[in-house]
A and B are shown apart, each in its own frame.
Chain A
């Protein structure tokens, strides 16, 4: 599904990704761990197409297509979804209006009919259950005055609604209490399927108790320095990142 080869990326002229390789197949869940500043969030943002990040070298193919050539909205239409670490607030735009626009723009781009009001609301109700979203949040302005947990839950809710093929979770667990973490994780687990893949970026191991990954990667200094089965996460938790840096 996704193949990243020797990816280098800068922000403000500073190189953050320094030759990253990663391959993700349909049905897989990949966890990316690593210390602060190792480039995890940069990777997530580069994949979503954030313009501040400049790719200087390497390639990213997604279903055989050059992903780096696509605008962020085109990536969304083709099924890439980034759950933001810090979802932004947009005053005056209701959550519901935003979701409907997002969904219908994506449907339009894929040659599908726009969803009418009634069908849309039915879909919203169905997906809201998945992440136990408070229905009041739907009518509020997008993320405005949402608590940290509500924002993260709203991200996963959007993901459920838009049904991406590749979901990228950028530190979705940060700032969540244990109950919210469980709800968010169970939402993600329900979305897992053989034709979808997830990249879960996290600083801590605890999220991986709930979303069990197929592969764990450790990032340091802009590169993946070690990959292994899910047990690697536990080992990391125990021995710390310095341990991997030494063996790498």
Chain B
């Protein structure tokens, strides 16, 4: 039996990452390394107003005084932040109105990724913003959305066209001082998506951002800011891939969500950055700060994430429940295989009265990987009648991987109710044999079992992406159990 497990494990590790191609496209880069001049360079490239530059420079100064966090259950050699490029843009920047002017190589890349922009236009219900290396390449459906008063554009455009909204909310959820990577992002973020849903508007389609890192030794630092005004609703999805590179690539994004009175934001992520090879060579270091602020009463923010990629994932999409009776949700499936390391979870900070939060985390570890759930439920003094329910499950495939759960609960209000459930299980050889004996091959059996295990979370994804996510889970774990 052990022998077979090994064989199959070997098989998995030889499986190739399907999105690992690179694109030969001419790009304009800032010189390697990071200093104030680079920050100025980025800001100048984007014709940013003075206030934006000042905001960045302040972040850079703060960052210089900060240290990398050491508390996560991940291990990696020290990152030389001077050995990265902080800005890279395809040289021919496609115009928003005409695809013909775009670099054909770039169009080809997106086609390979299955998101032809032309196709996307026809696809009902999904508007896409594409971020390639550092810049936002194209936003589809912008005009359609405009009719409803919805703003959906690249972050750079937002700075130019909607400076007041950006000024008001940028850094209001994730301040520059929040953490090392957030400060770094604030200094050098090059683009990202911006979205504003006006009062009472229900966004008629899924909004989506697609991130792609192409250039070698290039960090991607995108910034997403999403505001749902009173009574507004939006469902937002982001997807990510990167080419196979021998060296590690750095990704440090910041996502800020703001939900006003009675507003609801659903934010879903399907993350499939290159995870590195079986020896742990290459792969994305994914250090991301995502936080939602339920600013006013009865607002709701749900995070759903399917994390299958990256060499290291350090990510805690969180909710600050400030408005009374606001709701925060976190649904997560994190898969690690080979030598991947994930330390992911959430923070639910209850400030308002009657606030509620739900956490459902499903970790799946295979190979030699390590998968940790880290979650904080904090109930403030004024959060009368706050409630939280957390469920953290871990599934182990094979016996050389690790699953860890670090739940932290801090309650300052005696009327609050906090429940935590946790389970760890191993995919049973019994389960696999049972399916085998009904004519279902092992690969498919594992995929069925894992998808069954993750169903509660996958059900939270918008329909069209749930199917994608299911396939992705199957591919990430191909043959990892004997």
Residues of A within 8 A of B (CB): 48-52, 71-73, 75-77, 81-82, 84, 87-88, 90-93, 97-98, 101-103, 105-106, 109, 141-142, 158, 162
Contacts and interface: CB of A to CB of B under 8 A. Distances in A.
Given A92-B455, A93-B448, A106-B439, 16 more contacts: A48-B433, A49-B437, A75-B437, A76-B436, A90-B434, A90-B448, A92-B451, A92-B456, A93-B451, A101-B444, A102-B438, A102-B439, A102-B440, A105-B439, A105-B444, A106-B438
Interface in B423-477: 428-431, 433-442, 444, 448-449, 451-456
Given A73-B441, A105-B441, A50 B433 contact: yes
B437 A76 contact: yes
A90 B436 contact: no
29 contacts: A50-B433, A51-B1, A51-B4, A51-B433, A52-B429, A71-B436, A72-B436, A72-B437, A73-B440, A77-B439, A84-B434, A84-B437, A88-B428, A88-B431, A88-B434, A90-B448, A91-B453, A92-B451, A93-B448, A93-B452, A98-B435, A101-B440, A102-B435, A102-B440, A103-B439, A105-B439, A105-B444, A158-B438, A162-B438
Nearest to B453: A92
Nearest to B451: A92
Contacts of B449: 90, 93
B225 to A, nearest CB: 35
Contacts of B442: 73
Contacts of B444: 101, 105
A73 B436 contact: yes
A87 B436 CA distance: 13
Nearest to A75: B437
B332 to A, nearest CB: 16
A48 B433 CA distance: 9
Given A51-B433, A76-B436, A105-B439, A92 B4 contact: no
Most chain B CB atoms below 10 A, which of A90, A103, A106: A90
Contacts of B433: 48, 50-51, 72
B448 A49 contact: no
Given A51-B1, A73-B441, A92 B436 contact: no
Given A51-B433, A52-B1, A76 B438 contact: yes
Nearest to A80: B437
Interface residues of B, number: 25
Contacts of A72: 433, 436-437
A162 to B, nearest CB: 7
Contacts of B429: 51-52
Given A51-B433, A76-B437, A90 B4 contact: no
A103 B440 CA distance: 9
Nearest to A97: B448
A51 B439 CA distance: 15
A101 B448 contact: yes
A227 B420 CA distance: 58
B477 to A, nearest CB: 15
A238 to B, nearest CB: 35
Contacts of A162: 438-439
B432 to A, nearest CB: 9
A214 B428 CA distance: 37
Most chain B CB atoms below 10 A, which of A82, A88, A103: A88
Contacts of B437: 48-49, 72-73, 75-76, 81-82, 84
- Among all A-B residue pairs, the 9 with the closest Cβ atoms: A92-B452, A76-B439, A93-B452, A72-B436, A102-B438, A92-B455, A106-B439, A105-B439, A88-B434
A81 B451 CA distance: 25
Contacts of A103: 439
Contacts of A76: 436-439
B441 A87 contact: no
Most chain A CB atoms below 10 A, which of B428, B436, B451, B456: B436
B149 to A, nearest CB: 41
Nearest to A105: B439
Contacts of A97: 448
Contacts of A158: 438
Contacts of B430: 88
Most chain A CB atoms below 10 A, which of B433, B442, B449, B451: B433
Most chain A CB atoms below 10 A, which of B430, B451, B456: B430
Nearest to A52: B1
Contacts of B453: 91-92
Interface in B1-30: 1, 4
B30 to A, nearest CB: 47
A50 B433 CA distance: 7
A199 B444 CA distance: 29
A69 B114 CA distance: 41
B137 to A, nearest CB: 38
B236 to A, nearest CB: 26
Contacts of B428: 88
B391 to A, nearest CB: 13
A50 B428 CA distance: 13
Contacts of B434: 84, 87-88, 90
Nearest to A92: B452
Given A52-B1, A90-B431, A141 B438 contact: no
A92 B454 contact: yes
B112 to A, nearest CB: 29
Nearest to B433: A50
Most chain A CB atoms below 10 A, which of B428, B429, B430, B438: B438
A106 to B, nearest CB: 4
Interface string B391-429: 000000000000000000000000000000000000011
A104 B449 CA distance: 18
Nearest to B449: A90
Most chain A CB atoms below 10 A, which of B1, B437, B440: B437
A158 B442 CA distance: 19
Nearest to B393: A91
A164 to B, nearest CB: 10
A141 B440 contact: no
Nearest to B441: A73
A90 B438 CA distance: 14
Contacts of A88: 428, 430-431, 434
A103 B438 CA distance: 8
A106 B433 CA distance: 15
Contacts of B4: 51
